[in-house]
Chain A
């Protein structure tokens, strides 16, 4: 019992004014993040006839619909690449962002028993919620490579930038997820707000069209949507179109950072009452 002499914890009613994240402790619980994410992944497609194929069907079907409506009928310009590739490259991060924010928003409420019965850093839950999407993203990306071969488009070495833009998308999803999951504990309205907001945000993001279509004097405001940079980054890395490095990028990155920091603050601030009010 030598370790007990060193370990000390003080619990009191006083609120830690800094709301700093206890990173060493969070690191201690990294395996729990992994296990919770893995529980989600391995249970999601159990007893489903098509199983993991659902991870492919969703972006593929959306891409087909977008190609018909926006590519064929509306004839939206796709910067010289086949429209299916153009929209699919944007759907990769978009679908990740959409599903992850929704899972994250509901994550605390769906894990009520964990929160009321066991201690662990609560940040683990929204963190675990945005992880399973990464696997779907990887699978969708493999399909994307096949699509590239099908449309005879050369793969580019810019693929190495993808993890960076994926990371940015992850931060954006986490930022929104922290805000929404914490608020959802108190206000279940969030559950209905998020899908609605996502629907609007889809059209405020360059998924079905190119960000070039936005008038240049509106670009900076447009870039307040963090997904603008992520999607432009994906298109640039995968297809070599557009330019994800400009003043707009800085705005997107700053918004993401602000979301993440304020989300963590709000989350830490409300965390103490989760078990009482959930």
Chain B
């Protein structure tokens, strides 16, 4: 019973760059012109004339079946949000069409319509109505919403007095109890603390299990992997892939080859972090920032940090391959180190060549206190590719190479006097038998 619930065909969205009011820059010009030729003017109001254009989406075609949970993946500016906005009927396509066979509820931002002067209780009703819920429906779910948000004591407090965490929790809670046939969610998991993010993910999982169709945009690959089976990859407004979520993530990470992707920068300090990782990059032997390396080359990981508050912290860098196997972790110091407030650090570690097997790798960065408190965590901080430059025989034969490819020093002697009864020989044949099992 796989019915398409969303059918997108040939969908394009064009924005004109620069001045959007095509012919008029001043209101007076418009008035004069509209007095002279009112009909001509009216027809112009809604049609865009020739201007430099920007295609936010270009000829997308895909179907989504009832009950599917689909991630939409792509870099910033790939067109993900535009797609969601069109599906949510906030903006309209420039070309192409969409058939929707179910009611759409979308959460493109949490807390839309919230008013700071109003109490938590009032805002729940207001926000619910904005999202298209009926008053009766909100009353029915009211207790659940309040409990989910954890704001029981502050229901009658104006929300301008709420902490930012409480605000976000309340906002998500209202949206989470929306019950449309198609749910569209944009990046909302990027809010709140770890614990609340986990709860949100759980709630989204529940929605999916109830058989509803979910479209989900996130930069959080772990969340996408956990929630979705299928993923659509967008790049520069075009559909690059429509495949399983694992394949899509691999593809997405490997598409990060352009120069600006070879360095990861964090523009703003992460929430409640004492250490602000400014940038992370991988350098080749000529000290150039790169994403692709040949297997025999050595590489240098370089991490720049700014210490916001004096802290005792440990920094852990983990290298993970495309099969999600953690290859190794490395830390700059054996024990958590005291970092002084307002200091800046540049940390480098050299990875020898001929260590990692050709594959796509990602770097996970964690800053923690050496015990259980994680201050910062980024599982997909940066990715890089080890290219198969040697073309090893085993790959040609279709054998896996293993997860590392160390250049081990072999010793080879010609020894014609080798006796078959030698204990060495027996041991070798034993190993061979084990391999074939």
For residue A194, CB closer than 8 A to chain B, the reply is: no
Note all chain A residues with C-beta closer than 8 A to B94: 13
Contact between B130 and A32 (Cβ–Cβ < 8 Å)? yes
Contact between A119 and B118 (Cβ–Cβ < 8 Å)? no
> A117 to B110, alpha carbons, bound, how many Å?
9
Interface size of B by CB at 8 A reads: 49
For residue A216, CB closer than 8 A to chain B, the reply is: no
Contact with B97, one of A10, A42, A118 (Cβ below 8 angstroms): A10
Give A112 Cβ to nearest chain B Cβ, in Å. 11
For residue B235, CB closer than 8 A to chain A, the reply is: no
For residue A79, CB closer than 8 A to chain B, the reply is: no
> A117 to B117, alpha carbons, bound, how many Å?
21
Note all chain A residues with C-beta closer than 8 A to B126: 35-36, 39
For residue A196, CB closer than 8 A to chain B, the reply is: no
For residue B141, CB closer than 8 A to chain A, the reply is: no
For residue B352, CB closer than 8 A to chain A, the reply is: no
Contact between A9 and B46 (Cβ–Cβ < 8 Å)? no
> A36 to B131, alpha carbons, bound, how many Å?
12
Contact between A118 and B112 (Cβ–Cβ < 8 Å)? yes
Contact between A12 and B96 (Cβ–Cβ < 8 Å)? yes
Please name the residue on chain B nearest to A32 by beta carbon.
Answer: B129
Contact between B46 and A273 (Cβ–Cβ < 8 Å)? yes
Please name the residue on chain A nearest to B48 by beta carbon.
Answer: A273
Contact between A39 and B101 (Cβ–Cβ < 8 Å)? no
Question: DSSP majority for the A interface?
Answer: helix
Please name the residue on chain B nearest to A19 by beta carbon.
Answer: B46
Interface string of A92-134 (1 = CB under 8 A from B): 0000000000000000000001111111100000000000000
Interface string of A16-32 (1 = CB under 8 A from B): 00000000000001011
Q: Give the most central of B21, B98, B113, B129: most A CB within 10 Å.
A: B129
Interface size of A by CB at 8 A reads: 43
> A39 to B30, alpha carbons, bound, how many Å?
35
Contact between A11 and B102 (Cβ–Cβ < 8 Å)? no
Contact with B101, one of A8, A36, A275 (Cβ below 8 angstroms): A8
In B157-188, which residues have CB < 8 Å from any A CB? 158, 181
Note all chain B residues with C-beta closer than 8 A to A7: 100-103, 181
Knowing A46-B117, A186-B21 touch, does A117 contact B92 (C-beta < 8 A)? no
Interface string of B106-120 (1 = CB under 8 A from A): 101100110101100
Please name the residue on chain B nearest to A262 by beta carbon.
Answer: B42
Note all chain A residues with C-beta closer than 8 A to B192: none
Note all chain A residues with C-beta closer than 8 A to B5: 4
Contact between A114 and B130 (Cβ–Cβ < 8 Å)? yes
Q: Give the most central of B5, B20, B106, B132: most A CB within 10 Å.
A: B132
Interface-lining segment among B81-89, B355-363, B394-402, B417-425: B81-89
19 example contacts (A-B, Cβ-Cβ < 8 A) are as follows A1-B66, A4-B181, A7-B101, A7-B102, A12-B97, A12-B98, A15-B46, A29-B132, A31-B129, A35-B125, A36-B126, A36-B129, A43-B115, A43-B117, A43-B118, A119-B104, A186-B21, A275-B90, A276-B20
Q: Which 8 A-B pairs have the closest CB atoms?
A: A12-B97, A4-B102, A189-B27, A35-B129, A43-B117, A119-B89, A11-B98, A9-B100
Residues of A within 8 A of B (CB): 1, 3-5, 7-13, 15, 29, 31-32, 34-36, 39, 42-43, 46-47, 113-120, 186-187, 189, 193, 266, 269-270, 272-273, 275-277
